[in-house]
Amino acid sequence: MNAQQLVDERGDLWLALAPLWLDREPSERDYARMVEVIERYDMTLSELEWMFRLEMAPVMSRHQLSIASEWRQFDDYKLMKQLVNHNMRLKGWRRKSWALFSGLTTMMVRHRWNALMNRVAVARGEQV
């Protein structure tokens, strides 16, 4: 898969979920927007979880740990570049390593992710 395919297939979803890593709690409007974008994708809750853990968290958690990071908003272009670069290398041992350490990279926003997944399940009429 090339970079443009990644942007086409995941770009909107990644950008919609990026506010989970900002320094403020997402508003109900933020969550509603995230659910709206997620519903455009044909992904199960399990697939969403692994996308969150492997495709996004390794990049996004670095923003949380960086003193010079942008905490109010992200530069979409710069963020997309970082996410694409990460995902282009996400094969073999790197994929396994990130899966192993995904608990650490997701722990700061796990409560927000769980709140979002509850909203997605409700929107889909699934058990929470």
Cβ atoms within 10 Å, residue 117: 18
Percent of the chain at pLDDT > 70 equals: 91
**65 vs 97, residue with greater confidence:** 97
Q: 92-119 pLDDT, tens per residue? A: 999 999 988 888 889 999 999 999 999 9
- Both tokens of 45, joined, read 């809750």
Per-chain mean pLDDT for the chain: 90
Q: Dump strand ranges (E) for the chain.
A: none
Give the integer Cα–Cα distance in Å for 3 and 84. 6
pLDDT reported for residue 1: 74
Instruction: Tell which phi-psi region holds residue 73, choosing left (phi > 0), alpha (psi between -120 and 50) or beta.
Output: beta
End-to-end CA distance of the chain: 34
Name residues whose C-beta falls within 8 Å of residue 79's C-beta, 6 or more positions apart in sequence.
14, 15, 18, 59
pLDDT reported for residue 52: 97
Q: 71-97 pLDDT, tens per residue? A: 556 789 999 999 999 999 999 999 999
58 pLDDT above the threshold of 80: yes
